[in-house]
Amino acid sequence: MIKLRANKRLQTTIRNQVLWTRFGSKIGRPVAWVTSGSPVEIVLAAGFIPFYPENHAAICAARGMSQDLAEQTEAEGYSRDLCSYFRVDVGSQISGRTPLGHLVPPDVILVSNNICGTVQNWFRVTAERFNVPLLFLDTPFNDAAPTEADVAYVREQLVHIAAEVARLGGRRVTEDRLSKVVLRSRDALELWAEVLAMAAERPAPFTSFDAFVHMAPIVSMRGTRRCISYYRALRDEVRERMKAGISSVPDERARVVWDNIAIWPVHKQLKKLFEQYHVSLVGDTYTSAWTVEHLEPEDPFTSLAKVYTDIILNHGAAHRVKVLSNMVRKFDATGFVLHSNRSCKRYSLGQFGVKTAVSSATGATGVVVEADMADPRSVSFEHLQQRLVPFFETLGASG
Amino acid sequence: MTRVAGLDIGSTATKCVMMEDGRVIASVVVPSMPDMRVAAERALRECGAEGIPVLTTGYGRALYEARLAQVSEITALAAGVGFVAPVAATVVDIGGQDSKVVRVEAGKVVDFAMNDRCAAGTGRFLEVMSRVLHIPFEEFDAVACDEVEPLPVTSTCTVFAESEVVGLLSARHPPARILKGVLTSVCGRVASLGRQVGVKAPVVATGGTMYSQAVVRALSNALGVPVAVPAAPQFVTATGAALLCARRVAADVAAAAV
Give the C-alpha separation, A307 to A319, whole Å.
15
Q: Does the beta carbon of B70 lie under 8 angstroms from any beta carbon of chain A?
A: yes
Give residue B209's pLDDT band: very low, low, confident or very high (50, 70, 90): very high
Confidence at residue A1, expressed as pLDDT on a 0 to 100 scale = 64
Q: Percent of chain B scored above 90 by pLDDT?
A: 80
Average pLDDT in the B188-210 region? 93
Are B6 and B12 in contact, with CB atoms under 8 Å apart? no
Closest CA to A391 of A370, A352, A364, A358: A364
Residue B1 has pLDDT above 70, yes or no: no
Interface of B with A in 228-247 (CB under 8 A): none
Confidence at residue A201, expressed as pLDDT on a 0 to 100 scale = 96
pTM, whole model, 2 decimals? 0.89
DSSP3 helix / strand / coil % (chain B, rounded to 5)? 45, 20, 35
**Contact call for B109 and A389, based on CB within 8 A:** no
Instruction: For residue B89, count other CB atoms closer than 10 A to its CB.
Output: 16
The angle, 0 to 180 degrees and rounded to 10, between the axes of the packed helices B175-197 and B123-133 is: 170
Give the C-alpha separation, B72 to A390, whole Å.
5
**Contact call for B71 and A387, based on CB within 8 A:** no
Taking phi first (over 0 means left), then psi (-120 to 50 degrees means alpha), and beta for anything else, what does residue A340 get?
beta
Confidence at residue A292, expressed as pLDDT on a 0 to 100 scale = 76
Given A352, A359, A390, which is nearest B112 (Cβ)?
Answer: A390
**Model pLDDT for residues A361-390, shown as the tens digit of each residue:** 999 999 999 999 999 999 999 889 999 999
Given B72, B98, B111, which is nearest A393 (Cβ)?
Answer: B72
Give the C-alpha separation, B209 to A183, whole Å.
65
Q: Does the beta carbon of A190 lie under 8 angstroms from any beta carbon of chain B?
A: no
List of E strands, B58-215: 69-70, 90-94, 99-105, 108-115, 203-206
Q: A64: helix, coil or strand? A: coil
Distances (CA, A) of A11 to A167, A187, B176: 35, 22, 65
Residues of chain A positioned with their CB less than 8 A from the CB of B69 = 398
Residues of chain A positioned with their CB less than 8 A from the CB of B112 = 367, 390-391, 394
The residue type at A217: P
**Model pLDDT for residues A13-30, shown as the tens digit of each residue:** 988 988 988 898 899 999
The residue with greater pLDDT, B42 or B123, is B42
- Cross-strand partners of B8: B15, B57
Q: Does the beta carbon of B69 lie under 8 angstroms from any beta carbon of chain A?
A: yes
Give the C-alpha separation, B109 to B100, whole Å.
12
Q: B14: helix, coil or strand? A: strand
Q: Does the beta carbon of A398 lie under 8 angstroms from any beta carbon of chain B?
A: yes
- Render the burial of A57-90: b for 16+ CB within 10 Å, e for the rest: bbbbbbeebbbebbbbbeeeebeeebbbbbbbbb
- H helix or E strand, kind and range, residue A25: helix A6-26
Give the C-alpha separation, A291 to A186, whole Å.
9
Give the C-alpha separation, B219 to B210, whole Å.
10
Residues of chain A positioned with their CB less than 8 A from the CB of B117 = 370, 380, 383
Give the C-alpha separation, B15 to B26, whole Å.
11
Are B56 and B15 in contact, with CB atoms under 8 Å apart? no
Domains B3-80+235-257 and B86-229 share a fold: yes
Are A278 and A207 in contact, with CB atoms under 8 Å apart? no
Instruction: Looking at the complex, report in whole angstroms how far the Cα of residue A356 sits from the nearest Cα belonging to chain B.
Output: 8
The residue type at A19: L
pLDDT tens by residue, chain A, 399 residues: 678 999 999 999 988 988 988 898 899 999 999 999 999 999 999 999 999 999 999 999 999 999 999 999 999 999 999 999 999 999 999 999 999 888 899 999 999 999 999 999 999 999 999 999 999 999 999 988 899 999 999 999 999 999 999 999 889 999 999 999 999 999 999 999 999 999 999 999 999 999 999 999 999 999 999 999 999 999 999 999 999 999 999 999 999 999 999 999 999 999 999 999 999 999 999 999 888 777 888 999 999 999 999 999 999 999 999 999 999 999 999 999 999 999 999 999 999 999 999 999 999 999 999 999 999 999 999 889 999 999 999 999 887
**Contact call for B71 and A393, based on CB within 8 A:** yes
Taking phi first (over 0 means left), then psi (-120 to 50 degrees means alpha), and beta for anything else, what does residue B48 get?
left
Are A54 and A89 in contact, with CB atoms under 8 Å apart? yes
Confidence at residue A6, expressed as pLDDT on a 0 to 100 scale = 94
**Contact call for B116 and A393, based on CB within 8 A:** no
ipTM score: 0.81
Q: Does the beta carbon of A383 lie under 8 angstroms from any beta carbon of chain B?
A: yes
Mean pLDDT, all residues of chain B: 93
Residues of chain A positioned with their CB less than 8 A from the CB of B75 = 390, 393-394
Confidence at residue A303, expressed as pLDDT on a 0 to 100 scale = 95
Q: Got the DSSP string for A158-187?
A: HHHHHHHHHHTT-----HHHHHHHHHHHHH
**Contact call for A383 and B112, based on CB within 8 A:** no
Residue B54 has pLDDT above 70, yes or no: yes
Nearest CA in chain B to A354: B196
Given A365, A370, A391, which is nearest B117 (Cβ)?
Answer: A370
**Model pLDDT for residues B114-134, shown as the tens digit of each residue:** 887 777 788 889 999 999 999
- Render the burial of A197-209: b for 16+ CB within 10 Å, e for the rest: bbbbbebbbbbbb
- Render the burial of A235-271: b for 16+ CB within 10 Å, e for the rest: bebbbebbeeebbbbeebbbbbbbbbbbbbbbbeebb
Closest CA to A183 of A89, A306, A45, A277: A45
**Contact call for B72 and A365, based on CB within 8 A:** no
- Mutation site, B93, B101, B108, B111, interface A, largest A CB count within 10 A: B111
Domain ranges of chain A: 6-171
Give burial (CB, 10 Å; 0-12/13-18/19+) of B224: exposed
Confidence at residue A78, expressed as pLDDT on a 0 to 100 scale = 96
Instruction: For residue B221, count other CB atoms closer than 10 A to its CB.
Output: 16
The residue type at A189: L
Domain ranges of chain B: 3-80+235-257, 86-229
Give the C-alpha separation, A167 to A171, whole Å.
8
**Contact call for A383 and B117, based on CB within 8 A:** yes
Q: Does the beta carbon of A393 lie under 8 angstroms from any beta carbon of chain B?
A: yes
**Contact call for B111 and A386, based on CB within 8 A:** no
- Mutation site, B61, B68, B71, B72, interface A, largest A CB count within 10 A: B72
- Measured over the CA atoms of residue B58, residue B60, residue B61 and residue B64, the dihedral's sign is negative
Nearest CA in chain B to A335: B111
Give the C-alpha separation, A148 to A151, whole Å.
5
* Distance in Å from the first CA to the final CA of chain A: 16
Where would I find the H helices in A131-253? 148-167, 175-197, 208-214, 216-220, 225-244
Given B70, B111, B116, which is nearest A365 (Cβ)?
Answer: B111
Q: Does the beta carbon of A25 lie under 8 angstroms from any beta carbon of chain B?
A: no
Interface of B with A in 13-32 (CB under 8 A): none
CATH number belonging to domain B86-229: 3.30.420.40
CATH number belonging to domain A6-171: 3.40.50.11890
Nearest CA in chain A to B104: A394
**Contact call for B69 and A398, based on CB within 8 A:** yes
* B3-80+235-257 to CATH, choices 3.40.50.300, 3.30.160.20, 3.30.420.40, 1.20.1580.10: 3.30.420.40
